[in-house]
Chain A
Amino acid sequence: MSDHTPAPGAGPERSTTVPLPERRARRRGPGPGPRVPGLLALGPLLLLTVWFVGSATGLIEERTLSAPWTVARTAADLISAGTLQEHLLASAGRALLGLGVGVTTGLALALVAGLSRIGEGLVDGPMQINRAVPNLALLPLLILWFGIGEEMKVITIALAVVVPIYVHTHNALSAIDQRYVELAETLGTGRATFIGRVVLPGALPGFLLGLRFAVTAAWLSLVVVEQVNSTNGLGYMMTLAGSYGQTDVIVVGLVVYAVLGLLLDGLVRLVQRRALTWRRTLEG
Chain B
Amino acid sequence: MASHTGRLTLAPPTEGAPLTTEAPAVRVRGLTRGFDGRAVLRGVDLDIARGEFVALLGRSGSGKSTLLRAVAGLDHGVAGAGDVDTPESVSMVFQDSRLLPWQRVLANVTLVLPGPGARERGRAALTEVGLEGRERAWPHELSGGELQRAALARSLVREPRLLLADEPFGALDALTRTRMQDLLLRLTERHRPAVLLVTHSVDEAIVLADRVVVLSEGVVAADLRVDLAAPREVAAPGFAALRARLLSLLGVDREERATGE
Binding site for B on A (CB under 8 A): 179-180, 182-183, 185-189, 193, 197-198, 201-202, 204, 277-280
Pairwise interchain contact B91-A186, C-beta atoms closer than 8 A = yes
* B87 CB, min distance to chain A CBs, angstroms: 12
**A193 and B74 within 8 A (CB):** no
Cα-based distance from A202 to B102 in the complex (angstroms) = 7
Q: B15 → chain A, closest Cβ, in Å?
A: 29
Are B74 and A189 within 8 A (Cβ)?
Answer: no
Given contacts A179-B94, A186-B72, contact A201 B112 (CB under 8 A): no
Q: Which B positions have Cβ atoms within 8 angstroms of A? A: 72-74, 89-92, 94, 96, 98, 100-104, 107, 111-112, 138-140, 154, 158, 164
Chain B residue contacts of A187, Cβ below 8 A: 91, 111-112, 154, 158
The 10 A-B pairs of least Cβ separation, nearest first, read: A201-B102, A186-B92, A183-B98, A278-B102, A187-B112, A280-B140, A278-B138, A189-B112, A278-B101, A179-B98
List residues of chain A with CB within 8 A of the CB of B73. 185
B104 to chain A, nearest CB (A): 8
A residues near B101, Cβ cutoff 8 Å = 278-279
A277 proximity list for chain B (CB < 8 A): 138
- Interface on chain A toward B: helix, strand, loop, or mixed SS? helix
Q: Specify which chain A residues have a CB less than 8 angstroms from the CB of B111 in the assembled complex.
A: 187, 189, 193, 197
A193:B140 contact, CB within 8 angstroms: no
Task: Tell whether, in the assembled complex, residue A182 and residue B74 are in contact, meaning their CB atoms are under 8 Å apart.
Answer: yes
* Residue from B74, B98, B103, B107 whose CB has the most chain A CB atoms within 10 Å: B98
Complex Cα gap A279–B102 (Å): 7
Contact A278 B140 (CB under 8 A): yes
Contact A197 B138 (CB under 8 A): no
User: Are A179 and B102 in touch, CB under 8 angstroms?
Assistant: no
Residues of the B chain whose Cβ atoms lie less than 8 Å from the Cβ of A280? 140
Residues of chain B lying within 8 A (CB to CB) of residue A182: 74, 98
Query: Considering only CB atoms, which chain B residue lies closest to A177 in the complex?
Result: B98
B112 touches A188 (CB 8 A): yes
Q: B residues within 8 A CB of A193?
A: 111-112
User: B102, A204: Cβ atoms under 8 Å?
Assistant: yes
Name the CB-closest residue of A to B92: A186
B105 to A: closest C-beta gap in Å: 11
CA distance A182 to B164 in the complex (A): 13
Distance (Å) between the CB of B229 and the closest chain A CB? Answer: 34
Most chain B CB within a 10 A radius of its CB, from A179, A187, A188, A189? A187
CB–CB B138/A180 < 8 A: no
Task: Name the one of B100, B138, B164 contacting A198, with C-beta atoms under 8 angstroms.
Answer: B100
Chain B: CB-nearest residue to A198 = B100
Given A202-B102, A279-B101; A183-B94 close (CB under 8 Å): yes
Q: Would you call B98 and A197 a contact (CB within 8 A)?
A: no
Shortest Cβ gap from A192 to chain B (Å): 11
Instruction: Write the nearest CB–CB distance from A101 to chain B, whole angstroms.
Output: 28
CA A24 – CA B202 in complex, angstroms?
51
Given A197-B100, A277-B138, also A185-B74 (CB < 8 A): yes
Compute how far the CA of A197 lies from the CA of B94 in the bound complex, rounded to whole angstroms.
19
Question: 18 A-B Cβ contacts within 8 A?
Answer: A179-B98, A182-B98, A183-B94, A183-B98, A183-B100, A185-B74, A186-B90, A186-B91, A188-B112, A189-B111, A189-B112, A198-B100, A201-B103, A202-B100, A202-B102, A204-B102, A278-B104, A278-B139
Contact partners of B91 in chain A: CB under 8 A: 186-187
| Interfacial chain A residues near B94, Cβ < 8 Å | 179, 183
Closest B-chain residue to A202, C-beta based? B102
Chain B residues with CB under 8 A of A278: 101-104, 138-140
Q: How far is the CB of A159 from chain B (nearest CB, A)?
A: 31
Given contacts A183-B100, A186-B91, 20 further A-B contacts (CB under 8 A): A179-B98, A182-B74, A182-B98, A183-B94, A185-B73, A186-B72, A187-B111, A188-B89, A189-B111, A189-B112, A197-B100, A197-B107, A198-B100, A201-B102, A201-B103, A202-B100, A278-B103, A278-B139, A279-B101, A279-B140
User: Are A179 and B96 in contact, with the CB atoms below 8 A?
Assistant: yes
In the assembled complex, the CB of B76 is this many whole angstroms from the nearest CB of chain A, namely 9
Cα distance, A277 to B104, chains bound together (Å): 10
| In contact, B100 and A201 (Cβ under 8 angstroms) | yes
A251 CB to nearest chain B CB (Å)? 44
Tell me, in angstroms, the Cα distance from A180 to B72 when the chains sit together: 15
**Chain B hits for A204, CB < 8 A:** 102
Bound-state Cα–Cα, A274 to B140, Å = 16
Complex CA gap A186/B104 in Å reads: 20
Q: Shortest distance in angstroms between A65's beta carbon and chain B's nearest beta carbon?
A: 49
Whole-angstrom distance from the CB of B27 to the nearest CB of chain A? 19
Measured CB to CB, the closest approach of chain A to B234, in angstroms, equals 30
Complex Cα–Cα for A280 and B142 (A)? 12
